[in-house]
Amino acid sequence: MNITQKIRRQLKLQNLIFYVLMIVVVVLLAQLSLKINIHSDWTANNRYSLSDTTTEFLKKLDKKITIQVFISPNSEYRPVLESLLSLYQNQNSQLNVSYINPDFSPDLVRELKIQQQGEMVVSQDDKQQHVLDLSEQSLTNALIAVSRQQEQWLVFIEGHGERSPLSEANYDLSVWGDQLTQKGFKFLSLNLVDNNEIPDNTAAVVIASPETAWLDGEIEIIKHYIDNGGHVLWLAEPDNHQFLAKLAEKIGLTFIPGMIIDPNAKQLGLKDPRFVLITDYANHPIGQATSGVTVFPQAAALEQTATNHNDWQYLPLLTTHANVWSETSLSQNNATQDVVFDADKDTKGPLNIAYLLSRTLPKSKNNKQQRIAVIGDGDFLSNAYLGNGSNLELGMALMNWLAGDDDLIKIPVKTTIDNQLELNQTQSLFIGLGFLIVLPLLLLAMGFWLWWHRRKQ
C-alpha cells in the first residue's frame, strides 16, 4: 500500500482525535468517581460493611453530630479508625469527623478526660458519649445515645430489697446499668412510700426482684401507671413473686408453684439443677437479637390466666426444654439434695419463664403500643451472671423493646470467620508430595516437550 502525504495527515488527525477523546473520557470518569461512591464487600460475613440497623439509623439522622477522634498520626490504629468512620460518613454527611493529635492538645485531653489512643468523643448539643473500642456496636450506640429526641429515664423501684443498677454487689445490676448508660438511658431510684407518682418522662419502670411485701398503696400506684399506658419490666423470683400477686392478677398472669429444675444444666458442667438453660425463643425481635443460650439461676415458670385480658396480647418469650419441671419441694437454699419429678406435686415442662405483653393504646397517636415484660428470674441480669451465655444480649434487647426502640434492638457483631485450613496426615502428605515432586516433574516434562518440539521444527 502506497502511503501518501494525505493519508499520513489523516492518520495523524485520527491519532490526535483518539488521544483527545481518551483524555476527555478519563476526566469525565474522574469527575464521576468523585460524585458516585460505589462500595462492595465480598467478605464472607460482610465485616467491612455496616449492618442494616446502623444504615437505617444513619439515613434517618437529620441533625449534625460531631465525632472527635484522639489519635496520633502515626498510630497503628488510625487506618482502622479512618476506614470505619468513612463507612459512616458515606451514609450521612451530618457526621463531622475531626482527628486530634493528643500530644499537641493536652488541655482538650484533660477537659474531655481522654483515657487512651483512638478514643472517640461523640457529641450533639450538650449530650456527649465516649467510645473506647473500634467497633460498629459501640460507635452506633454512642450516636443513638446523643441523638435521642428525648431522655430515656428508667425508674427502678426501691424500698423492698430490690436489685440496684448502681451497686456493684453480685446480687445487683451495675454491669447491666453501665451498658444501659452507654445506650443513653438514665436511672432514677424511686421509693413509692415517699413518692406516690411515677414521673411523666419515664420510659419504663423496673421492678427488680423485691424481697419483702409491698403495701397495697404501692401496688395501686403501679396499677395506675399501667392503666395510663406505662411500660414495665418485672423481674420476679420463685420464692418472692407472691409479694406482687395482685399485680400479676392485674395483667392476667400467674406463677406456677415451685422452682424449675433443668437436667440439661449438666451439659455445660453445671452441677446445680436449678440453672435453667434457654435456647427456644419466640419469633420476636428480642428472640432474634439473642444469639445463643441464656442461663437463668433459680427461675419460676409463668402461665397466662386469661385470653386477651384487657386487650393484652400475650407472647411466651422464653420456653424451657421438655424434660424440665417445676419442683415444689426444693428451696432456694438447698441445692445439693437429689430431686425427682413427682407427677402429683410438680409441673412438667416445657415451661415458660417469660411473657411479653403488648396492646395498642386507644387514645394514642400512630397506634402507640404499651409494653410489659415479666421474667421469672432476676439473677440472669445480675453482676454475677450477666456474662453467662447471651444474657447481656437478652437484657439489652428487652429494655430497647420496652423503650420503643424496635429498630435498635440488635446491631450484629462483625467477626472474622475462621479461615484456618485444617488437614489430616494423608491430606498433608498428598499436598506435600504434589508441590515437592509432582509439580516439579510436570514442569520438567513441559520444558522437555517444548525443547523437543522446537528442535524437531
Rounded to the nearest 10 degrees, how much is the dihedral formed by the CA atoms of 235, 236, 240, 241? 130
Domain ranges of the chain: 52-144, 150-406
**pLDDT tens digits, one per residue of 334-372:** 554 577 888 888 999 899 999 999 998 877 667 788 999
CB 231 within 8 A of CB 204: yes
Q: How, if at all, do strands 275-278 and 253-255 pair?
A: unpaired
**pLDDT tens digits, one per residue of 401-456:** 998 877 655 555 444 444 556 667 787 788 878 888 888 888 888 888 888 877 77
Q: Which of 24-33, 333-342, 379-388 has the highest mean pLDDT?
A: 379-388
Percent of the chain with pLDDT over 90: 41
Q: Which helix (H) or strand (E) holds 15?
A: helix 5-35
The CATH homologous superfamily of the domain defined by 52-144: Glutaredoxin (3.40.30.10)
Of 157, 179, 185, nearest to 244 (Cα)? 157
CATH 3.40.50 correct for 150-406 = yes
Domains 52-144 and 150-406 share a fold: no
> What is the SS3 assignment for 276?
strand
Grid cell in block for residue 379? 439473677
